[in-house]
Amino acid sequence: MSYQVDITIVGAGVIGLAIASQVAREGREVYVLEKNETFGQEASSRNSEVIHSGIYYPKDSLKATTCVEGNALLYELCQKHGIGHKKIGKIVVATDDAEVNELEKFWERGRGNGVNGLRMLSQQELRKLEPNITGIAAIFSPSTGIIDSWTLMSYFVGKAGDNGAHVAYRTAVVGVDKTPGGYKVSVEDRDGYFCFATKVLINCAGLQSDKVAGMVGIDIAEAGYKLHYCRGEYFSVGGGKSKLVSRLIYPVPKAGEAGLGIHVNFDLGGRMRLGPNADYVDTIDYRVDDSQKRAFYESAAKFLPFIAYDDLEPEMVGIRAKLQAGGEDFRDFVISHECDRGLPGFVSLIGIESPGLTRAPAIAQYVGKLVEEVLHNC
Ligand SMILES: Cc1cc2nc3c(=O)[nH]c(=O)nc-3n(C[C@H](O)[C@H](O)[C@H](O)COP(=O)(O)OP(=O)(O)OC[C@H]3O[C@@H](n4cnc5c(N)ncnc54)[C@H](O)[C@@H]3O)c2cc1C
């Protein structure tokens, strides 16, 4: 094992790439290892591409604070580097009195989290903004938007490469062992199996991040790192219906629900989609289950009266890496330098579910600072 690098990042999703672009610099050997053929083939390209504002998450949670921070950073990055985005705004719509009560709670929470410009809308105000949807009250979030996640990731790959980082595709990490100076990383690629040494290892392996933590000897059950897969399907909406609303439209999330509820989202070309639903599963399978179409239609028709069953076509599936199992309470993301477990230089990012895309630049800054401290003390 003669080859030695400074920093190894496992996973070329938006999180690993954002971190690589943050920590790469001249004179430093940084490698990103990705088991797939290219970057962003998992959660980072199978999501709603929404730049969230931070309404839903409990005050002072990492999800809340860095969502608000990530929202501002992401718009700044997009404007500066020509990354496709639109600040189209979002409406969370209540369709009965019980939902209005819940809506008010989310409004308070969003304001407490520091979300800018949130407004409660009466039925008349809602009708003025979105005449084709059904609802009796709503929250309007003007700082919510959409982004082209592929261009964002391409930007991070380019910046990391310009600063000397290497991204190795079709390279799966299969083992990690603690050594006196850092870690021995065992990988498998097209040519077989090899090992190298790294001072710092950053685990951004998304759905497999609990397994990568297990490779270095962390007891994932004891640490609370066991991930639960939660599948989300999308159906596209045809029939010219996308012209009938101009903002992202969300229902009021139900207590105990694993997602935000099936909502209207758009890509930058203006194509309308419904999704995602939220079903806990044991295996990763990206085939859309057509039999969900009826449930999607019924759920959306409550606030989108113009939708017809035949407008819906199966589109894609994304799988969330959740720390909480079905029915369990809120769990925050884990970002941890594992020094206290006797693993200095090993950084875990576990359970980076939504709003992970929004948060990517904020996470990169946070982990960047951590890594500078680690390298300084190594
Ligand atoms: C249905 C859905 C909707 C969402 N909607 C939004 C949204 O609208 N807005 C938002 O902000 N966020 C959203 N998210 C969350 C966001 O997509 C994720 O938080 C983010 O993409 C996570 O990025 P990641 O890099 O951690 O994971 P991933 O993109 O999954 O990347 C992990 C990478 O690690 C690689 N890997 C794993 N194991 C190994 C190994 N052993 N060796 C080498 N490589 C390995 C994988 O191949 C993968 O490429 C959504 C997520 C889902 C699933």
DSSP one-letter string for 314-356? EEEEEEEEESSPTTPPP---EEEEGGGGT-TTEEEEE---TTH
Give domain status of residue 247, yes or no.
Answer: yes
d(CA 248, CA 309): 20
Same domain, 219 and 234: no
Domain range for 300 is: 88-143+229-322
At residue 218, the pLDDT reads: 98
Assess whether the C-beta atom of 259 lies below 6 angstroms from ligand 1.
no
Give domain status of residue 62, yes or no.
Answer: no
Of 279, 296, 322, the position where a domain reaches its end is 322
What is the average pLDDT value for the chain, to the nearest integer? 95
Assess whether the C-beta atom of 43 lies below 6 angstroms from ligand 1.
yes
Give domain status of residue 79, yes or no.
Answer: no
Confidence of residue 258 (pLDDT cuts 50, 70, 90): confident
Mean pLDDT, residues 224-235: 97
Of 289, 305, 322, the position where a domain reaches its end is 322
At residue 242, the pLDDT reads: 94
Confidence of residue 1 (pLDDT cuts 50, 70, 90): low
pLDDT of 256 higher than 70: yes
Assess whether the C-beta atom of 54 lies below 6 angstroms from ligand 1.
no
Query: For the segment 64-96, what is each residue's pLDDT rounded down to a tens digit?
Result: 988 999 999 999 999 999 999 999 999 999 999
| Residue 312: CATH number of its domain | 3.30.9.10
Mean pLDDT, residues 140-146: 97
Same domain, 278 and 303: yes
Nearest protein CA to atom 37 of ligand 1, as residue: 205
Query: For the segment 34-64, what is each residue's pLDDT rounded down to a tens digit?
Result: 999 999 999 999 999 999 999 989 999 988 9
Which residues partner with 350 through β-bridges?
334
Same domain, 116 and 168: no
pLDDT of 305 higher than 90: yes
Assess whether the C-beta atom of 47 lies below 6 angstroms from ligand 1.
yes
At residue 260, the pLDDT reads: 84
Give domain status of residue 77, yes or no.
Answer: no
d(CA 119, CA 139): 6
Give domain status of residue 78, yes or no.
Answer: no
Number of domains in the chain: 2
- Using an 8 Å Cβ cutoff, are 348 and 203 in contact? yes
At residue 83, the pLDDT reads: 98
| Residue 210: CATH number of its domain | 3.50.50.60
Give domain status of residue 51, yes or no.
Answer: no
At residue 329, the pLDDT reads: 86
